[in-house]
Structure 1
Amino acid sequence: MDSTVVRGGRGVGKTFWYRSLLDETLREIAAQEYGIERLRRVTVSRGYGASLEPDLYPGPSNLRQLVEEGVRPYDLWYAVLLTAFGQPELRGLPEWRDKAAWVRNNPGAAERTVQNVDRKAQEQGGTHLILFDALDHLHRVRSQADRLVGGILELALAMRLGTRNIRFKVFIRPDMYDGALLAFPDASKLTSNAAALTWSRANLYGLLFHTMGNHDGVLASQFRQLTQGWQPEADGRRHVPPALLSGDEQFQTEQFTRIAGPYMGSNFRKGHTFTWLPNHLMDGVEQVSPRSFLSALQKALSETRDQYAGHEFALHHEGIRRGVQTASETRVAEVSEDMPWVRLAIEPLAGHQVPMDQDKVENLWHEAGLVGALLKKSTERPGEPQDDTLERTGPRYPDEPALLIEELMSLGVMRRRRDGRIDLPDVYRIAFGVGRKGGVPRVAS
């Protein structure tokens, strides 16, 4: 509740929490589950999201037009805030440019509305929470997206410092937060207050076992009996696993060994199943998304059923490898959707092996004409025919290969070894067709 900024990559749960906080029933469950009593006294409004809600906030096309017209992002988001508060003067203004202009021309009236809403929330002992999600859809041009995000964060800090009971919660990718234009006083206070949505290995396996124990049917019941200690369903809520199954890695290892066996082959030299799976799904900043983790296991199960039906365990080690391959393809598809420029940058490395010297990376980019391709995308003007590969969130430095590598490392797509060479984590390397001696091979087409 106290964190204004919540940073997290693709598939870690930002939109899940955004939607959960919007839903009164789910807020009640979270209040009970996590002991956050304040969630029962929260009024929640949308500040921005993936769904089109033109009466609540401007959509991507409208935002592009507003940016072109020179509307100040701070004024625009202030108009969104006041619309959530029911500002009477804004109700008769259907266009967001007019709403933003009213805010700029009527600062006193705007501040009084904020003060009144803050006082009312205080009297009721509650909080008015404004939620922002899907910020990668704000604008197709990275510099403009950075300006729009900067406006949200500036207003978020103003509400945090100037009111007692009005708070923003901004769900954002780490690279977008790091690149936002935080050129306003006390911006560092947002960083010190930020939270990160990360998943430890114990969290991932806890999610797996929670899912298994709550699946419909006899097998879930048998799993609960085998592991014991589950709290029964109550008030329509699902079974809650014992603490050991949720967070004790030794106990988790024992249970996963029952499912997948101890090794990724005939002996320990091939790797231990419990550690091998998350290690090969980890990106360059050592994060694993729960979506990748569960999708890899789902593929491993179907592969085991189809190809190794007589295997003594539910998951065959070759099925787990295939699951990682499939998860890699899914992850690459996701990053290509979010940031098409990443695919342009990594495809020239296909067919080569990592780790490789940085000079070789830059030479391969030069041969492929990468800088020219990225510059062409970054200079396309609004109103021209749109290219589906136009970057809406990057890169920031298309003509500086060394900085481009740093940006790819911040995204977790690349990483640097201790000897300075450039590497790609398996979760990206496999589907991009980049090799590594002894590494997991690409899925055969």
Structure 2
Amino acid sequence: MTTRQKYQPLNSEDIFTIRDTIARFDPSASSTIVGADKAKLRDIFAPMSHSKALDPATTLVLGARGAGKSFWASVLYNPDTRHLAAELYPRLGIDRLRVEIGFGGVGRAGVSKEVIDKLVPEEQEKATAGLFWKAVIAGAALTVIEPNQKHPPREMLDRFSDPQDWADTMVKVDDKLEKSGETLLIVFDALDAISEDWKRLSRIIDALLASVWSLRGFNAIRAKLFMRSDQLSELTLRFVELSKLRSGAARLGWRQADLYGLMFARLAFDEDGGEAFGRLLEANGLGKVPKKQEELRTWKLSSNESQQEKLFVAMAGYFMGAGPRKGKTFDWPYNHLADGLGDVTPRSFLILMQNAAERSQSRDASTLILLPQTIRDGLRAASKVRIEQLNTEYPWIKRVLQPLAGLRVPAEPQVLFDAWAENATVEAAIKIAQREHALPPVLTGSSQKPDLSTQESKLADRLIMMGVLTSRPDERYDMPDLFRIGAALLKKGGVPPKA
């Protein structure tokens, strides 16, 4: 905006109501494919950029933790949310889908980890995992021609011990689906829950990719795998057609307009806060809230950044400080929530806003709904949560970040290397990875006593690949605020780790 707009402040009751609605956002923003945390109709927001991820023809969907992979898997599987997705993405043929779960990582979501452990014994993955996944696929396919029967993997392994029987049955299912104009989509989500041991996980996912690839000869049987981007890169996958799968993959990215659209949609459809939010829109010349979620496709606040900025200025003011030097309130959250790869996830964005609303409620000394200082506090909360989440996949990350606390970035590489070396960080992190059966922070080779004296630079490279560090043009290392604040590093002019 080149000039300041005039906006109408709300009465104190509406301010409180909208704050309270934002404060009630689910701070984890996590979903499971089925169960109490499955996707709910009121939470569906469908950016046009995500259409490829929902397209039945797209096999591989990649996204960072918190980008919405499990949410979309749940939307596709559950009939009510699938119907709404079909309305929001009318060109994808979602209304003609039959969806089954291959693996979902939670109870009642396809095959369980315990069944995998029993039927795919450790160290026998190469011989058994491929047959196992074909049995899972067969069980899903048989729901089309044998709808009232259960098809557990153990029985499928026995029934289709002859590969020709499997092929003949799949052709029969494919033919029936074609005649009815339907497509069977088999969804695989939360694949990291298959095993805590990354070597075993690599072998099992390798076999899954090969099994899914074999479906390309059918016309109406598809599979969709939701995976973390780093998982695909770091697992030692040997599937020969991986490059083809990767080239056709959909990436769940979120633009700034998508994230604000998501937040405004949740406000619009909230049972308690929707009316107050509607009054805020009308008072500022932004129209009315949509009556049905299908209207989100044409609602300007779903994607029009100039309209979104006008609304957020009415909620939080123009600037993060007394003037423009501290940045505009509208751009500040997105700019400070990006990791080193440029990704911002709904989870981090909603945590920031939820925390800012909570803190604004307690201060309540302004006609603004969100106070700029509380937005900074929300970033601190989002940073701490992001590190905790990262620690679930990389249990050594806190040990790696701890020696850096108090350092100022950007910093010369040797500053980080010295801090790690003084604390024997690489060696300690490798031991943690071995104990937790996790992917190690650096490759150590086959030596039982590898030389770790030059491993600090490799550790930095690993953090850059993960988006935790960045390398500046002058070769100094920097750390995005999303991690820097939670790790207690300092930055001139940046948000300090503590308020």
Shorter-chain TM-score: which interval? 0.7 to 0.9
1:408 corresponds in structure 2 to 463
Paired amino acid for 2:268: G
Structure 1 position 60, deviation (Å): 5.6
Query: Of 299, 302, 307, which aligns to 2:355?
Result: 299
Paired amino acid for 1:318: Q
Structure 1 position 46, deviation (Å): 0.8
2:187 corresponds in structure 1 to 131
The CA RMSD measured in Å over matched residues stands at: 2.7
Q: Counterparts in 2 of 1:13-412, with a 5 A limit?
A: 13-36=68-91, 38-53=93-108, 56-59=110-113, 62-63=116-117, 66-72=120-126, 73-86=129-142, 96=154, 105-160=161-216, 162-215=217-270, 216-217=272-273, 218-226=275-283, 227-230=285-288, 232-234=290-292, 237=293, 240=296, 243-307=299-363, 309-380=364-435, 390-392=436-438, 395=441, 397=443, 400-412=455-467
Distance (Å, rounded) in 1 between the aligned partners of 2:462 and 2:437: 14
1:9 corresponds in structure 2 to 64
Structure 1 position 431, deviation (Å): 1.0
Q: Contact conserved, 2:409 with 2:478, CA < 8 A, in 1?
A: yes
Distance (Å, rounded) in 2 between the aligned partners of 1:240 and 1:175: 32
- Cα distance, 1:166–1:404 mapped onto 2, change above 3 Å: farther
Q: Deviations over 1:186-232 (max 9, x none)?
A: 33221121000010011111112212222224312313423544464
Task: Give the TM-score normalised by structure 1.
Answer: 0.87
Structure 1 position 433, deviation (Å): 1.1
Q: Contact conserved, 1:6 with 1:197, CA < 8 A, in 2?
A: yes
Q: Deviations over 1:255-285 (max 9, x none)?
A: 2111111111111111111111111111111
Q: Contact conserved, 1:284 with 1:413, CA < 8 A, in 2?
A: yes
Distance (Å, rounded) in 2 between the aligned partners of 1:248 and 1:6: 26
Distance (Å, rounded) in 1 between the aligned partners of 2:75 and 2:58: 16
Distance (Å, rounded) in 2 between the aligned partners of 1:130 and 1:9: 22
Distance (Å, rounded) in 2 between the aligned partners of 1:22 and 1:241: 22
Paired amino acid for 1:280: H
- Cα distance, 1:229–1:79 mapped onto 2, change above 3 Å: same
Structure 1 position 181, deviation (Å): 4.4
Any idea what SS the aligned residue of 1:183 has?
A: coil
Q: Contact conserved, 1:77 with 1:155, CA < 8 A, in 2?
A: yes
Distance (Å, rounded) in 2 between the aligned partners of 1:419 and 1:101: 62
Structure 1 position 58, deviation (Å): 3.5
Distance (Å, rounded) in 2 between the aligned partners of 1:394 and 1:100: 35
Paired amino acid for 1:31: A
The alignment covers a number of residue pairs equal to 426
Q: Which consecutive residues of structure 1, in runs of 5 or more, have no partner in the other structure?
A: 381-389
Any idea what SS the aligned residue of 1:46 has?
A: strand
Q: Which consecutive residues of structure 2, in runs of 5 or more, have no partner in the other structure?
A: 1-54, 445-451
